[in-house]
């Protein structure tokens, strides 16, 4: 069975339809996590190195990050999943479940860009 493809809110909303907040089911974002923003992406967060986001899995966290900081989701997602060049660490453990990787209450999440060179 194919996994659901994650879409950013602006991809879902169409002109003349409900506002973005109404597209999200009630209670969807009840878990708050601390997201550590890598230096390369801090320009999108106004220089903040840590932000809070809500969601029960990595995909929902990214949706909330995109809502708060437009453009950030595009840097983390490719074809509905976490970009292959981005590793995700949740509470010190490397995630392998992509956007479906669960996030616990009060988790600390790192998005780690791959290092270039050789």
CATH code of the domain containing 65:
3.10.20.30
C-alpha to C-alpha distance for 45 and 68, rounded to whole angstroms: 8
Whether residue 9 is contained in a domain is answered as no
Q: How confident is the model over 64-81, as pLDDT tens digits?
A: 999 999 999 999 999 999
Distances (CA, A) of 108 to 34, 58, 93: 5, 11, 10
Does the model's pTM come out above 0.75? no
Whether residue 107 is contained in a domain is answered as yes
If one counts every other C-beta atom within 10 angstroms of the C-beta of residue 113, the result is: 15
Q: How confident is the model over 22-74, as pLDDT tens digits?
A: 444 544 445 689 999 999 999 999 999 999 999 999 999 999 999 999 999 99
Whether residue 6 is contained in a domain is answered as no
C-alpha to C-alpha distance for 83 and 74, rounded to whole angstroms: 9
Whether residue 73 is contained in a domain is answered as yes
Given a cut of 70, whether residue 106 has pLDDT beyond it is: yes
Domain range spanning residue 105?
A: 29-113
C-alpha to C-alpha distance for 13 and 63, rounded to whole angstroms: 13
Total structural domains within the chain: 1
Whether residue 12 is contained in a domain is answered as no
């Amino acid at each position: 069975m194919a996994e659901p493809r994650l879409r950013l809110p602006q991809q879902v909303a169409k002109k003349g339809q409900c506002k973005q907040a109404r597209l999200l089911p009630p209670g969807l974002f009840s878990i708050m996590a601390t997201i550590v923003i890598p230096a390369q992406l801090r320009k999108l967060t106004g220089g903040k190195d840590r932000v809070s986001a809500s969601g029960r899995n990595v995909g929902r966290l990214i949706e909330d990050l995109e809502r708060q900081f437009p453009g950030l989701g595009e840097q983390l997602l490719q074809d509905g999943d976490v970009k292959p060049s981005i590793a995700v660490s949740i509470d010190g453990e490397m995630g392998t479940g992509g956007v479906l990787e669960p996030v616990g209450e009060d988790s600390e999440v790192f998005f780690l860009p791959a290092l270039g060179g050789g």
